Homo-oligomer: A and B are copies of this chain.
Amino acid sequence: MDSLGNLKRSHYCGDLRMENLNEEVTLMGWVQKSRDLGPLIFVDLRDNKGITQIVFRKEDNEELYEKAKTLKSEYVIAVTGKVFERESKNKDIPTGDIEIISNELRILDTANTPKIYIKDDDNVSEEMRLKYRYLDLRKPQMQHNMRMRAEISKAFRDFLYDNNFLEVETPFLGKPTPEGARDYVVPSRVNKNLFYALPQSPQLFKQMLMVSGMDRYYPIVKCFRDEDLRANRQPEFTQVDIEMSFVNMDDVIAMNEKLLQYVFKRIKGIDLALPLNRMSYQEAMERFGSDKPDLRYGFEIKDMSQIVKLTDFELFSNSLAEGKQIRGINFNGLAQSYSRKQLDKLTKYMKGIGASGLIWLKLENDNTINSSINKALNEQFNEALLNLFDAKEDDLILVVIDKESKVLDYLGNLRVHVASENVQFKDDDFAITWIVDFPLFEYDEEEDRYVAKHHPFTHPVDEDIDKLTTNPHECRAKAYDIVINGDEIGGGSIRINNSELQNKMFDALSLTEDDINNKFGFFIEALKYGTPPHGGIAYGLDRFVMTMLNVNNIKDVIAFPKTQSATDPLTNAPTFITEQQMEELNIEFRDDSTI
Contact = CB atoms under 8 A, between A and B. Distances in A.
Contacts of A194: 574-576, 594
Contact of A529 (B135, B192, B193, B570): B135
B109 A498 contact: yes
A248 B391 CA distance: 70
Interface residues of A, number: 137
Contacts of A191: 565-567, 574, 595
A168 B171 CA distance: 20
A129 interface: no
Contact of A193 (B186, B580, B594): B594
B522 A213 contact: no
Interface in A233-250: 235-236, 238, 245-248, 250
Contacts of A562: 171, 173
Given A1-B500, A166-B146, A574 B531 contact: no
Contacts of A29: 213
Contact of A577 (B47, B180, B530, B531): B180
Given A134-B211, A529-B135, A168 B146 contact: yes
Interface in A428-462: 462
Contacts of A214: 48, 137, 143, 146
A187 interface: yes
Interface in A98-139: 108-112, 114-115, 132-138
A586 B589 contact: yes
Residue picked from A137, A161, A167, A229, most chain B C-beta under 10 Å: A167
Interface in A556-595: 558-560, 562, 565-568, 570-578, 580-581, 583, 585-595
A327 B143 CA distance: 56
A147 to B, nearest CB: 6
Interface stretch (A72-80, A300-308, A349-357, A504-512): A72-80
A336 interface: no
Interface string A405-428: 000000000000000000000000
Given A498-B109, A573-B196, A589 B587 contact: yes
Contact of A9 (B180, B235, B246, B591): B246
A118 B132 CA distance: 54
A193 B111 contact: no
Contacts of A212: 133-138
Given A48-B215, A572-B522, A558 B138 contact: no
Interface stretch (A220-228, A285-293, A393-401, A485-493): A220-228
A188 B1 CA distance: 43
Nearest to A542: B169
B585 A1 contact: no
Interface in A1-42: 1, 3-6, 8-9, 28-31
Nearest to A235: B173
A498 B574 contact: no
B592 A193 contact: yes
A4 B533 contact: yes
Interface stretch (A85-93, A149-157, A318-326): A149-157
A560 to B, nearest CB: 5
A174 interface: yes
A468 to B, nearest CB: 16
A579 to B, nearest CB: 10
A61 B559 CA distance: 63
Contact of A248 (B5, B150, B183): B5
Contacts of A591: 192, 586
A199 to B, nearest CB: 11
Nearest to A3: B462
Contacts of A208: 133-134, 570
A171 B595 CA distance: 24
Interface string A186-205: 11111111111110000011
A362 B568 CA distance: 65
B170 A109 contact: no
20 contacts: A8-B251, A30-B530, A76-B531, A108-B498, A110-B498, A111-B529, A134-B526, A137-B214, A143-B214, A172-B224, A173-B184, A173-B236, A173-B568, A173-B574, A176-B573, A186-B186, A193-B592, A205-B560, A222-B222, A522-B572
Given A108-B498, A134-B208, A173-B566, 10 more contacts: A49-B215, A109-B531, A133-B212, A171-B236, A171-B560, A173-B573, A174-B571, A187-B187, A193-B589, A586-B591
